[in-house]
Amino acid sequence: MRVVVDPDLCEGNRKCELAAPEVFRVGDDDLAQVLIEQPPEELREKVERAARLCPRQAIRLIED
């Protein structure tokens, strides 16, 4: 699984950071950074929750 954030959509709402702090951090530029581009399976549930809760639906999960 690969995680991609669309910078055109992200507005720094931080839902991803709260749902999966291991994988996302919102920087001072109000954009979510992906800390682990290919997170391990044990983080899948958290990452999926982050993607689901993103207000602007800016997170895409691409299956290998």
Partner 1 sequence: MTQATLHPSEIRMDDPAIFEEGRAHDIFRILRREAPVHWTPDSEYAKGFWSITKYEDIVHISRNPQIFSSERGITSFEPHEVDPNDVNARLYGKMIITMDPPRHVRMRRLVNKGFTPRAVAAWEPHIREITNQILDGIAKKGEADFVTEVAALLPLAVICEIMGVPREDWEKMFQYTNQVLGGGDPEFQTDVPEELRGTPEGARQQINLGTAKMFQYFAQQLAEHRAHAREDLVQVLLESEVDGQKLTDEDILWFCFLLILAGNETTRNAIAGGLLALLEHPAEKQKILDNPGIMPIATEEIVRWTSPVLHMARVAKEDVEIRGVPIKKGQRVVMWYPSANRDEDVFADPYRFDVTRQPNDHIAFGIGEHYCLGAGFARLEIRVMFEELFRRFPDIELAGQPARLRSTFIGGIKHLPVRFTPEA
Please spell the DSSP secondary structure of 8-58, one letter per residue: TT-----HHHHH-TTTEEE-TTS-EEES-SS--GGGHHHHHHHHHH-TT--
- If binding is defined by CB under 8 A, does position 8 make contact with partner 1? yes
Q: Does 57 bind partner 1 (CB under 8 A)?
A: yes
| 64 forms part of the interface with partner 1 (CB under 8 A) | no
Check binding of 21 to partner 1 (CB under 8 A). Answer: no
Q: In the complex, which residues of this chain contact partner 1 (CB under 8 A)?
A: 8-9, 11-14, 28, 30, 52-53, 55-57
